[in-house]
Amino acid sequence: MTRNLRITNNKFIDQTSRISFKFDGKTLYGFKGDTLASALLANNIHLVGRSFKYHRPRGIMTCGSEEPNAILQVGNDPSMTEPNTRATEIELYEGLVASSQNCWPSVNFDMGAVNNFFSPIIPAAFYYKTFMWPTNFWKLYEYFIRKSAGLGKSPTEPDKDIYDHRYLHCDVLVVGGGISGIMAAKIAAKNNLNTVLIDDKNVLGGTTLFQQNECFKINNSYSNEWIKKEIETLNSLKNLTIKTRTSLAAYHNYNYLLARENLTDHLDLNEKKDKIRQRLWKIRAKKVIIATGAMERPLIFNNNDRPGIILSYSIKKYIDYYGVKCGQKISLFTNNDSAYETAISLSNSGVSVNSVVDIRDKTNSLIVNQVEKLGIKIHWKSTVVNTNGYKKINSIEIMKLSDDGTAVVGKKIKEECDCLGISGGWTPRVHLFTQAGGKLKFRDEDNVFLPDTTELDQISIGSCNGDFELDNVIKNSVNLTNKFLKINNNNYENLEIISSKEIEKKNIWLLPSNKHLGKTKSFLDFQNDSTANDVKLALREGFKSIEHVKRYTTTGMATDQGKLSNMHALGIIAETAGVKMGELGTTTFRPPYTPLTFGAIVGRNVGEFFDIIRKTPMHEWHIENKAEFENVGQWKRAWYYPIDNENMYEAVQRESKAARDSAGILDASTLGKIDIQGSDASEFLNRVYTNAWSKLEIGKCRYGLMLNEDGMVYDDGVTTRLSENHYLMTTTTGGAANVLSKLEDYLQTEWPELDVYLTSVTDHYGTISICGPNSKKILSKIIPDLILSDKDFPHMSFKNALIDNINCRVMRISFTGEHSYEINIQSSYAKSVWEKCFEAGKEFNITPYGTETMHLLRAEKGFIIAGQDTDGTMTPVDLHMDWIISKKKYDFIGKRSLYRSDTIREDRKQLVGLLTEDPNEILEEGAQVVAETNKQPVEMLGHVTSSYFSPNLNKSIALAVVKNGKKLKGQKMFVPMKNKIINVTVTDTVFLDKENKRLNA
């Protein structure tokens, strides 16, 4: 086990700084600069997980964000553990704890692996086909499937980490810090453009950073030496901001981009504490240069998923960058020249390369010749037909390809190896380009989708634009950048470049085997465990669209969005269906490019910052007096004030009785208040309310009903005329903001000629409502100068007054049917005045009541609550409020709709009262009202909108909307509940004091 897989000659990993970490309970060591994947490989650990469906052993396969297998659970703290993290992207830190996910009980012995032996009966869509029927059984199956195939564990406690959001504006954003991105950023910054360069790795340089090869030289230096100097020069550029460990997640329209910066994920456990973990950058860039490079493709052949089978260029990075040997006897399998770079790197580091299996005919490019010179055997025009080894590859079987590439011929050669590097060519990372709505074109020569047209100010340069050879990458990146930025002076003129040219190209999407296709396991999507055979089966079953095949086989639907599998799936579909790949189109790549944490998405908007909490000026008093609170929109409103051990029902009964027997006090500050001024204020009110306002005297109040243009009740409230051209409108608590917006809309767009100004003053005034037969006495104690006789201060009127020298407005208005007053006073004084009222009311047993009692009291009087008794389908006529519709007014919002054929129907749902046969039976709000009990299905005629036990009437009361309700008065109806049917009688909506005697009591 302790074979030394580390080479000592390495520039990037600090081999003096040893780091300990745990994987599946075992303590292991790596070095600063390692990723979790490189450290595991250095410890000769390839097997890191089990596949999703068949539970086949799977190993690390790549070195980047496209990793499909090394998907691990990191951390074991119940609030910090994170599932589905890619070992290839996790920088090693002291104290890191990681474990395999998709295996039970352990990665080395997995119960689910029996699926592998039964795999012939687990074809594409097996789960859909088997477990979805009969439908009810899914609940049963799901438990077992989840247990044996889960993808990681969610944290069970709140995330303790801090996340952050910030905005960033720049002239040019360069995404990707490889050779193309570095050159583009330098050109932009040198030309006075405010430039930002981001890269998801901890260092810039991309793959050029470790490219030390005779075949790739710039100005007589190895390309890695050249790029190192370029990176050094970036630091002196004033206009350039460089962000490493920053991954671009999403590219939206108008060059709006989201990038996640990892700030502490690479730090040791004790260094992470109290620091911001990740920051989400919200970027607006005038221009975007995408230089995201390309990713290597796998090859699709029988048993291509064993641990130890790694993308060839990743093997190169592990040896050249991390100094880690992925094996001691490595074989390579390729369809292109890049695997030869790996062969040279391995050879330079003293790792023996068994052979290169190449599906092409013999080719003579610079780099191939160099490999041949090293004496490495090349199997031309050959393919791997099988691999062996259960938990780790131990040999491959090689055969010659037929001339047309569809079959294998000749004798099978067996070659022992402990690692197989595979390369199926390169796929440009066009994900961001397409996220932003860019259209792709297909290049047949090497089977790549390339950026074509875009509506945005962006370009793609380098490998993501289809340039794979060093000289093309440099030349085209520079030219495209200059053109895009409209710059003439060139920082990169006359570079002398040596670059190996690929001469021969050949591609076979699904490599043939000596076995029948049905007997092979050629994996396409490693994470979701779908095979080439599954895709072919889907096509045989009649699926044609790539989007359908994808969903049916789940190919490309795992957390990697099919980064490795999509091209082959498309290729196989195109080949099987006999269409051109370019015509088939691709599936859509959606943001985020790599998964984002929820923490990064929500940023600081957690806990008390999740939503605004609005509190009235008397809030603290309510808390001191043990109020329970109700959320009304963003407001916290006192709901009820339990005394001793009262429950809500008991408290509300007591409060309701007290308010009618003597005096109650309510915090009504949340009601919307709109200050209306201007010479056309009266005319404006005429147009927005159903009733007439011109004749309202100064100092008087009036109830108003506001409709939508469709004639349905929208909001209501009392408006007071403060002076000739000055009104104070009140709205419902929940409707305040929308009413103001609606009124502004009409003023600005339909009636710009009106001289009217609207100002929201909801937060400026606290509102104290005192009601009950003793309310007059209490008010007279607070404001002794005010004459409170019915003659001087009648119901529906208003007075300016002074309380302790503070101006306030007192309205005599009532929402309970009791004699009552509302004091409006500047918010900062509201609490002290409230306390004063409470003090003054003590001798009358003044009782604070909350929203629940308010609702009960108004229901006794049959007053509606817009939004509770109405739902956007009730006209004033439906609510028996014909009296408030002006017949004289020529027009108001919604007037014309009141006599549309539908609104004049007599059998509309209308507001009624309901009394239960048993006066102690309280109906449930929302319960249905029916006329028959012995019919199924029965017509639902309406529903209960408000229901309470009235302590003042000593019986249960309810409001309901019922079809044709007005004509049903006195009729028996039924409210069917789960276990019983409740008998009710339809009544008038006013239950208490029909003559309104109490208003002047």
Partner 1 sequence: MFLINCPYCGERDQSEFSAGGEAHIERPKQPTELSDDQWAEYLFMRKNIKGVQFERWNHAHGCRKWFNMVRDTSNDKIHAVYKMGEKPPIK
Interaction site with partner 1 (CB under 8 A): 252-254, 256, 284, 437, 455, 709-710, 741, 744-745, 748-750, 752, 890-891, 895-897, 900-901
Q: Is 525 helix (H, G, I), strand (E, B) or coil?
A: strand
* Min CB(749)–partner 1 separation in Å: 5
* Min CB(675)–partner 1 separation in Å: 15
* Min CB(171)–partner 1 separation in Å: 15
* Min CB(258)–partner 1 separation in Å: 10
* Min CB(206)–partner 1 separation in Å: 29
Give me the long-range contacts of 900-904 (CB less than 8 A, separation at least 24). Answer: 900/711, 903/711, 903/875, 903/877
The first and second tokens of residue 42, run together, are: 């250095």
Of 11 and 252, CB closest to partner 1: 252
**Which is nearest to 149 in space by CA: 724, 558, 702?**
558
Of 29 and 254, CB closest to partner 1: 254
The first and second tokens of residue 458, run together, are: 């962006």
The first and second tokens of residue 955, run together, are: 């019986």
The alpha carbon of 678 is separated from its chain's Cα centroid by a whole number of angstroms, namely: 45
Which residues does residue 218 pair with via DSSP β-bridges, in sequence order?
221, 497
* Min CB(286)–partner 1 separation in Å: 10
Give Cβ neighbours of residue 580 (< 8 Å, ≥ 6 apart): 442, 444, 574
C-alpha 699/C-alpha 721 separation (Å) is: 6
In this structure, are residues 877 and 898 in contact, taking their beta carbons and an 8 Å threshold? yes
C-alpha 620/C-alpha 616 separation (Å) is: 9
* Min CB(676)–partner 1 separation in Å: 16
* Min CB(600)–partner 1 separation in Å: 17
C-alpha 354/C-alpha 434 separation (Å) is: 40
Of 424 and 672, CB closest to partner 1: 672
Of 16 and 453, CB closest to partner 1: 453
In this structure, are residues 814 and 795 in contact, taking their beta carbons and an 8 Å threshold? yes
SS3 track for 89-114: CCECCCCCEEECCCCCECCCCEHHHH
Of 111 and 754, CB closest to partner 1: 754
C-alpha 397/C-alpha 388 separation (Å) is: 8
Containing 972, the helix (H) or strand (E) segment is strand 972-976
* Min CB(256)–partner 1 separation in Å: 4
Distances, alpha carbon 118 to alpha carbons 47, 301, 513, in Å: 22, 20, 21
Of 455 and 620, CB closest to partner 1: 455
* Min CB(689)–partner 1 separation in Å: 16
Of 286 and 842, CB closest to partner 1: 286
Q: Which residues of 348-383 are buried (b: 16+ CB within 10 A; e: fewer)?
A: eeebebbbbbbbbeebebbbbebbbeeebebbebbb
Distances, alpha carbon 671 to alpha carbons 223, 346, 735, 765, 837, in Å: 71, 76, 9, 10, 20
* Min CB(905)–partner 1 separation in Å: 13
The first and second tokens of residue 674, run together, are: 């709109």
Q: Is 520 helix (H, G, I), strand (E, B) or coil?
A: coil
Of 47 and 436, CB closest to partner 1: 436
Of 751 and 974, CB closest to partner 1: 751
* Min CB(987)–partner 1 separation in Å: 34
C-alpha 503/C-alpha 366 separation (Å) is: 10
Give Cβ neighbours of residue 744 (< 8 Å, ≥ 6 apart): 758
Distances, alpha carbon 144 to alpha carbons 102, 137, 147, 149, 640, in Å: 13, 12, 5, 8, 47
Of 4 and 901, CB closest to partner 1: 901
Residue labelled with tokens 């990169």:
492
Of 143 and 890, CB closest to partner 1: 890
* Min CB(159)–partner 1 separation in Å: 25
The first and second tokens of residue 788, run together, are: 């409170």
C-alpha 490/C-alpha 501 separation (Å) is: 25
* Min CB(744)–partner 1 separation in Å: 6
Of 741 and 873, CB closest to partner 1: 741
Give Cβ neighbours of residue 695 (< 8 Å, ≥ 6 apart): none
Helix, strand and coil content of the chain, in percent to the nearest 5, comes to 25, 30, 45
Of 373 and 887, CB closest to partner 1: 887
Residue labelled with tokens 């789940």:
554
* Min CB(748)–partner 1 separation in Å: 5
Of 62 and 686, CB closest to partner 1: 686
Cis peptide before 155 (omega within 30 of 0): no
* Min CB(770)–partner 1 separation in Å: 35
Q: Is 461 helix (H, G, I), strand (E, B) or coil?
A: coil
In this structure, are residues 707 and 690 in contact, taking their beta carbons and an 8 Å threshold? yes
Q: Is 518 helix (H, G, I), strand (E, B) or coil?
A: helix
Of 135 and 749, CB closest to partner 1: 749
Of 203 and 737, CB closest to partner 1: 737
**Which is nearest to 207 in space by CA: 371, 366, 426?**
426
* Min CB(291)–partner 1 separation in Å: 23
Of 272 and 895, CB closest to partner 1: 895
Of 18 and 896, CB closest to partner 1: 896
Containing 422, the helix (H) or strand (E) segment is strand 419-423
* Min CB(589)–partner 1 separation in Å: 18
